[in-house]
């Protein structure tokens, strides 16, 4: 019978078991590494994760109704909106009391603005109610409130309030997809064609972003190929010209295209000078989709060239030479040998340009006009002008989910691991 040797425990010079000492060293190394990356981690949390979480919350948040009209929300809970009868006296009394308190806190217009997003007329209704309810001091509150404004006697008004009395709502997402809810039976239907905005903007954004991505690839591929083929000394000089636009303000580059593309601009004047068009046939190339595509292709072109160039630089030149020496035509050798090796750069550049394109709003706002703006311009409008942050957040969430879906699709077809920047 063979005896197995007993395990020998090793110790350090100070008598501490070696295993324990190594574990302490590893913990210390991990702690130092964590402390070194903690500033970046905090930056990612506060500059990326927190805003996204806030956007997700705003897109479904409806707490303002319950906060400003607490008694009304509580009392209207037992009213059936499918009936053709108005709420009872207790609901009207609660509404009068809530409006009085909201008036003192100067918040009655906020609730009107919130409900006005769902059905027009509520902003003026609550603004007027803020002036009238101070005269309503005794029952019957129902009769007095309807007398102050006949809209309080419209059952549709109370159906809207009932529908949006909960703390969370999906109304912003319905609006983002050009849908509306019938407040009588709760059914969902599409808006009329003339009122449909957001689906058209989403489709336009995807179409123009795809066009821009394709154009940057068509223009950037031969440029990157040339940069990769010339000697390194020359390519280093030429790459400076590719990076040169980054040293100029985005606003300056965009307004420069306005000067070039407008009907009285340089390009139209040149075409008239060489006789291609006449004075009456000046081309409209600005404040439309054409202006957006041209300006953004120029702006985003470096983001396609750099990944392509860095990948092409790593492809051995001997591959194509070997194929030609074995009898392949140079064109066949290029498409069969060289081009497939550039796929990681094409994927990286296309994803980068497309994602940047769908999020642009400064350039489309300046040169896009009514037919060249993106969905991001609508988000900016709701965040800065209409102050409908819920709808703006809902559109932003949809755009974010689309980008994530695009990444998953790309990973399924090509593989994220095959995407290279160099």
> What are 45-56's pLDDT values in tens digits?
888 888 888 888
Which of 168, 184, 211 corresponds to the end of one domain? 168
User: Tokens 């295209």 belong to which residue?
Assistant: 257
Let me know if residue 260 belongs to a domain.
yes
Q: What number is the average pLDDT over the span 173-182?
A: 90
Q: Out of 92-106, 176-190, 296-310, 342-356, which region has the weakest mean confidence (pLDDT)?
A: 176-190
On the question of pLDDT at 154 being above 80, the answer is: yes
pLDDT of residue 176: 93
Same domain, 211 and 344: yes
Count of structural domains, the chain:
3
On the question of pLDDT at 368 being above 80, the answer is: yes
Q: Which of 201, 172, 223, 179 is nearest to 55 (CA)?
A: 172
- Of the chain, the percentage scoring pLDDT greater than 90 comes to 44
Same domain, 80 and 147: yes
CATH number of the domain enclosing 289: 1.10.3720.10
Same domain, 16 and 117: no
pLDDT of residue 2: 53
Same domain, 211 and 263: yes
Which of 34, 54, 74 corresponds to the end of one domain? 54
340-344 long-range contacts (CB < 8 A, ≥24 apart) are 341/311, 341/315, 342/221, 342/308, 342/311, 342/312, 342/315, 343/414, 343/418, 344/311, 344/418, 344/419, 344/420
Same domain, 80 and 212: no
pLDDT of residue 371: 87
On the question of pLDDT at 1 being above 80, the answer is: no
Let me know if residue 364 belongs to a domain.
yes
Same domain, 271 and 411: yes
> Residue 239, class by beta-carbon neighbours within 10 Å (0-12 exposed, 13-18 middle, 19+ buried)?
middle
Q: What is the domain extent for residue 122?
A: 63-168
Q: What number is the average pLDDT over the span 71-87?
A: 89
pLDDT in tens, 264-286: 889 999 999 898 888 888 888 88
Let me know if residue 193 belongs to a domain.
no
CA–chain centroid gap for 322, Å, is 47
Let me know if residue 299 belongs to a domain.
yes
pLDDT of residue 420: 56
On the question of pLDDT at 340 being above 60, the answer is: yes
pLDDT of residue 73: 93
Same domain, 203 and 264: yes
Same domain, 341 and 293: yes
On the question of pLDDT at 5 being above 60, the answer is: no
Let me know if residue 3 belongs to a domain.
yes
Let me know if residue 116 belongs to a domain.
yes
Let me know if residue 392 belongs to a domain.
yes
Let me know if residue 235 belongs to a domain.
yes
Same domain, 142 and 206: no
Same domain, 98 and 218: no
Same domain, 218 and 73: no
Same domain, 363 and 264: yes
Which of 115, 149, 168 corresponds to the end of one domain? 168
pLDDT of residue 92: 94
pLDDT of residue 7: 63
Mean pLDDT, the chain, integer: 88
């Amino acid at each position: 019978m063979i005896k197995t040797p007993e395990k020998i425990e090793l110790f350090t010079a100070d008598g501490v078991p070696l295993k324990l000492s190594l574990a302490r060293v590893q913990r210390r190394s991990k702690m130092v590494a964590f402390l070194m990356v903690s500033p970046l981690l905090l930056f990612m949390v506060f500059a990326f994760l927190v805003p996204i979480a806030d956007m997700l919350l705003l897109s479904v948040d409806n707490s303002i109704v319950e906060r400003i009209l607490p008694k009304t929300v509580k009392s209207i809970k037992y009213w059936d909106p499918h009936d053709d009868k108005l709420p009872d006296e207790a609901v009207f009394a609660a509404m009068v009391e809530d409006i009085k308190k909201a008036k003192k806190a100067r918040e009655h217009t906020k609730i009107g603005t919130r409900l006005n997003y769902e059905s027009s007329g509520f902003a003026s209704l609550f603004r007027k109610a803020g002036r009238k309810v101070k005269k309503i001091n005794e029952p019957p509150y129902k009769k007095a409130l309807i007398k102050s404004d006949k809209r309080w006697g419209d059952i549709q008004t109370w159906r809207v309030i009932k529908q949006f009395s909960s703390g969370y709502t999906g109304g912003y997402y319905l609006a983002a997809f050009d849908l509306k809810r019938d407040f009588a039976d709760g059914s969902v239907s599409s808006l009329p064609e003339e009122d449909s905005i957001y689906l058209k903007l989403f489709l336009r954004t995807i179409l123009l972003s795809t066009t821009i991505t394709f154009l940057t690839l068509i223009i950037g591929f031969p440029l990157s190929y040339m940069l990769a083929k010339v000697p390194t000394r020359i390519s280093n000089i030429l790459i400076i010209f590719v990076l040169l636009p980054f040293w100029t303000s985005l606003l300056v580059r965009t307004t420069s295209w306005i000067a070039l593309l407008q009907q009285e601009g340089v390009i139209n004047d040149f075409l008239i000078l060489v006789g291609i068009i006449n004075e009456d046939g000046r081309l409209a190339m600005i404040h439309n989709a054409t202006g957006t595509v041209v300006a953004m292709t120029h702006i985003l072109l470096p983001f396609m060239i750099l990944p392509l160039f860095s990948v092409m630089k790593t492809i051995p030149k001997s591959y194509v030479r070997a194929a030609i020496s074995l009898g392949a035509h140079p064109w066949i050798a290029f498409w069969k040998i060289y081009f497939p090796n550039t796929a990681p750069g094409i994927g990286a550049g296309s994803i980068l340009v497309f994602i940047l394109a769908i999020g642009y709003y400064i350039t489309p706002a300046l040169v896009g006009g009514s037919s060249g703006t993106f969905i991001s311009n609508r988000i900016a409008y709701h965040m800065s002008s209409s102050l409908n942050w819920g709808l703006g957040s809902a559109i932003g969430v949809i755009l974010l989910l689309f980008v994530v879906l695009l990444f998953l699709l790309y990973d399924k077809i090509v593989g994220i691991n095959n995407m290279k920047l160099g």
